[in-house]
Amino acid sequence: MRERLAGPISVDEVLGLVRIEDPHLKARAVVLGHKVKVSTLRLQSFKLHGTACVTCGIAGAAFFVERTNQETPHLNLYTADNILMTRDHIVATADGGLDTIENSQTMCFPCNCAKDSKAHIRKCEEMDKKQGECK
């Protein structure tokens, strides 16, 4: 179950905190009282590639600090209609794509779910179980 802890926080404010560096360095910042990672590939991809879905064009409008099942709080980006924005692998990792910023693009959750790839369907099923939001 996903729990919303704080927000909204403007896209500009969050992207201003995002560090373009090795995600393994685990850079963090305090946002509205919550310590969150700010150099994940997902956040770097939003900063470098923009917040609009490459497939349907809808764009992220605000970030929220959220956590799922008592995990560490993290930043999630949503559209004005509360659609979650995700990082998509251009070439699926199951097809040999690398987990790098160059192989990343911004995609909304429904388009990511619909992407015609077994790897994505699998990923969606996992996310579905975890978040209960895949449509």
Best CA proximity match to 108, nearest among 46, 66, 65: 46
Q: Which two tokens stand for residue 102?
A: 């160059």
108 binds Zn ion (CB under 5 A): yes
The stretch near Zn ion (CB under 5 A) out of 36-44, 46-54, 65-73, 95-103 is 46-54
Q: What is the DSSP string of 2-65?
A: EEEEEEEEEHHHHHHH---S-GGG--EEEETTEEEES--HHHHHHHHH-SB-TTT--B--EEEE
55 binds Zn ion (CB under 5 A): yes
Q: Three-state SS for 123? A: helix
Give least dist CB 121 to Zn ion, A. 16
Q: Which is nearer to Zn ion, 36 or 111 (CB)?
A: 111
Q: Which is nearer to Zn ion, 56 or 91 (CB)?
A: 56
Q: How far apart are CA 10 and CA 78, in angstroms?
A: 11
25 binds Zn ion (CB under 5 A): no
Give least dist CB 45 to Zn ion, A. 15
Q: How far apart are CA 127 and CA 86, in angstroms?
A: 11
56 binds Zn ion (CB under 5 A): yes
The stretch near Zn ion (CB under 5 A) out of 34-42, 43-51, 52-60, 89-97 is 52-60
Residues in contact with Zn ion by CB under 5 A are 53, 55-56, 108, 111
